Amino acid sequence: MAPQPAKPPGATNGGPSPEEIKPIGPPSGLSAIPSQYNSEQGLRQSMKHIGYDEAREDGYRLKGIQLIDGVRQSLQLPVKTFDTAAIYYHKFRVRFPSNEYNYEDVALAALFVACKAEDTIKKSKDILCAAHNLRQPHDHKTPDDKTFEAPSRFTVGLERHILETIGFDFRVQYPQKLLIKMARKMFPREDTSNRAVGKEFIHVAYDMSIDLYKTFAPIKQASFTLVLAILELTALLLGTDPEKTKEFKKAAAWHSDRGCVLETMLDLLDLYTQFPKSTKVGLRFDLKKVMDVKIEINNLMAKEKHQRYHGWCDRCAPDLLDTRSVTPGSATSPATNPSLPGSGSAKRKRAPSEGTQRFVFDADEARREKDLVARHFNDEYEEHEVEVEEPIRDPEPRHPGRNNHSYRGHGPGHADFGWPTGIRTLVTGIEVDEGTGIEVTTASAVR
C-alpha cells in the first residue's frame, strides 16, 4: 500500500490555514511603477535637477539621435528599432547629466538595448563598428577588431543603467505604421488625379516622423496625437486642401486632445526654426513659410484658449536657475564614464530612497503590497489620559537654632541653601510693633 501524503498544517481541524502560516514581511527592495509618458513640466523639473544646460544639451540630443539613425540605416534595422532607441536615449539623458556619460556612448548603448527589445538582435561590436565606420570612413574596420573589445564591455555595462532608467518598461509607440494608414485614407489609391500630391505628402510626413524623435514629444504624447500633429503640419506646409484633413481635426474622435496636438506641432516648428540643418524636413521649406505657419498655429491656440504646454501649472512651475553643465570628454573614448576602471570622475551617488528597486507593472497589486508593507515601517502612537493621585508630602522638620526666614528670591542666583559655614546667629531681642502688634525679632550674625 502506498504511503499517504502528509497533510498540510492547515488541513487539521482548528489549525491555521496555509495563508496564515505564510511569513509576511517587508520586501527586499523598493517598488516602483514605471511611467510611459511624462509632461513638459515634469521633464523640466528633471532637467533642472541634473543641471541641464539647454543651449548645450540640445546639440547633444540632436547629435545622439542622428547617430542612432545613421547606425540604424548602416545596419539595415527597421524604423521601430530607431523609435525605441530614441525614447531610451531621451529618458536616459533627462536623468543623467552629460558630464557623467558621453552622449555617443549612451546613443549606441540605447540602440543595443533597443535591438534586444525589438527582436532585431545585433552584437555590441557590430554597433560600435558601424558607428566607427560612419565617423571615420577612411579607416574601415570589421567587428572582429580588437579595438572594440573594451568599448563593447562598457556598452554591455551601460545596458543595466538604461534598463533601470526606463524601469524595465519596454512599451514604445510606433507612429509610422499608423501614419501610413491615415495618409492612405486621405489619398486613396483609386484617386489617380492626386497620386503625385499624395506621394509627396507621404514622403514629407514620413521624414517628419523621424524628425519628431529629435524632440521630447514622443515621451509626452501618445501615437494618435503624434500622427494627427504630423498630418496637420504637413498639410499646412504643403498647402494641401483643408478638406483632406478636416476629419482629423476632431481630436476627441481619435483618442487625443486638441491641445496636445497643437503642442506637438509647435515642438516640431521650434525644431525647424532653430535647427533646420539637423533635420530632414527643415531645409525643404523656406524659413519664412515655417514662421508663417508657426504664427498661424499660435493664433489658433490663443483663439481656442489652449496653453502652450498641456497640463501646465503656473504655481508649480520651477524657477529658472543658472544651471551649469560640464562638457563631456572625447566622443571616441568611453573613458568619460565613471564605471570604467581608471576613470577620475566622481561616481553618481544614489538617493537615499533608491536602494534596490523592484519594478511592478500592476498598479493595484503595488498598492496592496505597499499597504501590507506599511505595517512594518509606520510608527503608530496612541495617547491615553490616566488620572493618578499623588500623596502630599509632609513638611520637612525645622532645624534647631534657625528661624523661618528665607533668603529665596533676594536676587538672581540666590537660593535657600541654609546658613553659610562658620556663621552663628545670635538673637538679641524681641520687640512688639505697637501699630500692627507683630513681633519683630532682632538678630545678628557672628562669624
Angle, nearest 10°, between helix axes 124-135 and 54-74?
Answer: 110
pLDDT-derived band of residue 251, with 50, 70 and 90 as boundaries? confident
What one-letter code names the amino acid at 191?
Answer: D
> What is the per-residue pLDDT for 202?
92
Contact 121, 348 (CB under 8 A): no
Distances (CA, A) of 428 to 92, 321, 337, 369, 445: 96, 84, 95, 86, 10
Are the beta carbons of 280 and 207 closer than 8 angstroms?
Answer: yes
Return the ∠ at Cα 411 (arms to 408 and 416), rounded to 5°: 25
Which residues make Cβ contacts (< 8 Å) with residue 321, sequence separation at least 6? 48
CA distance 281 to 211: 8
The answer for residues whose C-beta is within 8 angstroms of residue 116's C-beta and 6 or more apart is none
Q: Where are the beta strands (DSSP E) in 15-83?
A: 30-32
Instruction: Identify the pLDDT of residue 2.
Output: 47
Please state, as a whole number, how many other Cβ atoms lie within 10 Å of the Cβ of residue 129.
24
257 pLDDT band (50/70/90 cuts)? confident
Q: What is the pLDDT of residues 125-137, one digit of tens each?
A: 999 999 999 988 8
Range with lowest mean pLDDT among 50-64, 79-93, 386-400: 386-400
Q: Which residue has the cell 486613396?
A: 188
Q: Which CATH architecture has domain 29-172+362-375?
A: Orthogonal Bundle (1.10)
Closest among 152, 167, 170, 67 to 115, alpha carbons compared: 170
DSSP letter at 298? H
Domains in the chain: boundaries: 29-172+362-375, 173-325
| pLDDT number for residue 112 | 93
Residue-wise pLDDT for 21-40, tens only, equals 555 555 555 666 667 788 88
The whole-angstrom separation of Cα 292 and Cα 121 is 44
